[in-house]
Amino acid sequence: METISLQIPNISCNHCVMTVKNELSEIEGVSSVEGDADKKQITIRYQDPASLDQIYEKLKEINYPAQ
């Protein structure tokens, strides 16, 4: 199980956090997504078959690219 925290500059409110959580949760292997709108940060726990590349790509696709 991997855990990663990412900075997402486009997050401005809790609705943004929910959007990111819902979208990332659809990736097979993602077990949890937590977010903090004030810190503009998302923490993701995942394992195979999910990959960091898939997570970055999904964030880019939904217009919440990570830095």
Tens of pLDDT, residue by residue over 11-32, are 999 999 999 999 999 999 999 9
- 52 located within any domain: yes
Q: Which pLDDT band holds residue 67 (cuts at 50, 70, 90)?
A: confident
Which residues span the domain enclosing 31?
2-61
CATH of the domain at 26: 3.30.70.100
pTM as predicted:
0.91
- 22 located within any domain: yes
Number of structural domains in the chain: 1
- 51 located within any domain: yes
- Give 40's contacts (C-beta < 8 A, 6+ positions apart): 7, 8, 9, 11
